[in-house]
Amino acid sequence: MAVSGWFVALVALGAVPVVFFGGLPGLAIWGGVLVVVLAFELALAGSPAALELARDLPARVRLGESVPARLALANLGRRPVHGIVRDAWEPSAGARPNRQAINIPAGERVVITTTLRPTRRGERRAAHVTVRAFGPLRIAARQRTMPLSGAVRVLPPFNSRKHLPSRLARLRELDGRTSVMVRGQGTEFDSLREYVSGDDVRSLDWRATARRRDPASGQMKLVVRTWRPERDRRVIIVIDSSRTSAARIADEPRLDTAFEASLLLAALASQAGDRVDLLVHDRVIRGRVQGAIGADLLARMVDTLAPIEPELIEGDWSAIPTLIDSITTQHALVVLVTPIDTPGASRPLLAMLPTLARKHTVVVAAVTDPDVVGATRERAGSNEVYRAASAERALLDIARVAAALRQGGAEVVTAPPADLPPALADKYLALKAAGRL
């Protein structure tokens, strides 16, 4: 049972008979009136237990987008149900409105719609529905909470997809580039064409030149070979989900920035004809995507990444070479997306790196904090000076770790959260152009 504000007003109104009839008699009379009114209200109120509930939910939604969540209520009782329904979604589901008025005649069915705008990725759940059915005077109501589970998977927003068209244009330029293309190890022969000013003379094909002559003059025409980046290379993305990935930078967990960078790189590499595999690892594998190609790759990646949260444990970097070998025994581009804050925290990564770099091309991508960089410029007072000194020390630590990673054979990409995804994509294109994949 529940009471409304009208019942509170009715109790307050009891001061009149208490004063008129005297203390105890007046109180007894008014108490009896209240009991009769409550009994009348509850007897005429519809029964929430007579309602049959059903949900109609979307399976997935991207973080930052809105979707409708529908709740159907069928009145199987003999009385109409007038009242309020509260659909108990998690606060992070962003359910609006979470309370709605209903008026369901006997034997009929209504559908109410709640708009979900989640503020966090992962599984956003609803556990139960509470129905409050009032009587004709709306003084008291029958109330019942009924279990009705539901869940919507909130996918990573993939805001970095806005950088994809420009990188795909550069990829197409790379594929079609001839005279300015760098010939490096691992490039594939594409075709022959006539020499034009500016072509690399090392690309001249003398045999083809000897066979091709100008019909008008009879002179030989110089012919060059064109090259294109190799396709069907292996790109393995390893995301660190240990405790250091839980830190928030620019109001976003490091892990979410890692997801954005990985999605953009996977989309670009897939369009380039390379095979992309994904691992999310700390001490165990939290997520894995293998064997997906085309549109299925991104669909599986966002679905796998959505429920993963940082684990407050130290990562086991010594297991990474074995995991990579379980995916491929051939040369691959291995991208490690992990924080590089201090030499002490990065020691396991540095110890593992030479083993991995002997066989694969390794790129380490790490997000940097723009607030730390900004703190180095603020030195107006003593507090700011100490803060700037601390920020400078943090940047020096990052630089030391980055230098050690390069000495170990890895390429290093560091950037603020908004810039890391395109920076990692640019590094991939640079390696592609240099024939290092």
Average pLDDT over residues 318-346: 93
Answer whether residue 11 shows pLDDT above 90: no
Average pLDDT over residues 80-97: 92
Average pLDDT over residues 228-233: 64
Per-residue model confidence as pLDDT tens digits over 166-179: 999 998 887 654 33
Q: Which of 60, 6, 67 is nearest to 37 (CA)?
A: 6
What residues have CB less than 8 Å from 124, skipping those under 6 apart? 89, 90, 92, 93, 116, 118, 151, 152, 153, 154
Q: Which of 31-35, 83-87, 110-114, 371-375 has the lowest mean pLDDT?
A: 31-35
The alpha carbon torsion through 375, 380, 386, 391 (nearest 10 deg) reads: 10
Q: What is the pLDDT of residue 190?
A: 54
d(CA 121, CA 198): 51
Average pLDDT over residues 10-26: 66
Q: Which of 55-64, 167-176, 323-332, 372-381 has the lowest mean pLDDT?
A: 167-176
CB contact at 8 A, 335 and 265: yes
Per-residue model confidence as pLDDT tens digits over 139-169: 778 899 999 999 999 999 999 999 999 999 9
Question: Which CATH superfamily is 231-433 part of?
Answer: von Willebrand factor, type A domain (3.40.50.410)
Average pLDDT over residues 56-71: 94
What's the Cα-to-Cα distance from 425 to each of 75, 198, 261, 269, 332, rounded to whole Å?
A: 56, 28, 8, 9, 16
Q: Which of 186-190, 271-275, 363-367 has the lowest mean pLDDT?
A: 186-190
Type of residue at 228: R
**From the CB of residue 411, how many other CB atoms can be counted at a distance below 10 Å?**
19
Q: Do domains 1-155 and 231-433 have the same CATH topology?
A: no
Give domain limits for the chain: 1-155, 188-228, 231-433
Q: Is the dihedral of CA 234, 262, 264, 369 positive or negative?
A: negative
Answer whether residue 226 shows pLDDT above 80: no
Residue-wise DSSP of 236-249: EEEEE-SGGGG-BS
Cis peptide before 354 (omega within 30 of 0): no
Q: What is the pLDDT of residue 179?
A: 35
d(CA 236, CA 290): 9
Residue-wise DSSP of 300-331: HHHHHHTT----SS---GGGHHHHHHHH-SS-
Q: What is the pLDDT of residue 38?
A: 76
Instruction: Tell how strand 361-367 and strand 333-337 pair up.
Output: parallel
Confidence of residue 218 (pLDDT cuts 50, 70, 90): low
Give the residue with greater pLDDT, 20 vs 360.
Answer: 360
pTM over 0.75: yes
CB contact at 8 A, 241 and 264: no
Q: Which of 327, 329, 350, 330 is nearest to 401 (CA)?
A: 350
What's the Cα-to-Cα distance from 84 to each of 73, 131, 226, 286, 436, rounded to whole Å?
A: 12, 6, 72, 41, 64
The beta strands (E) that lie in 311-385 are given as 333-337, 361-367
Question: Which CATH superfamily is 1-155 part of?
Answer: Immunoglobulins (2.60.40.10)
Per-residue model confidence as pLDDT tens digits over 348-369: 999 999 999 999 999 999 999 9
Bridge partners for 95 per DSSP? 116
Question: Which residue's structure tokens are 């490091």?
Answer: 254
262: left (phi over 0), alpha (psi -120 to 50) or beta: alpha
The percent of residues in the chain predicted with pLDDT above 70, rounded, is: 85
Q: What is the pLDDT of residue 185?
A: 37
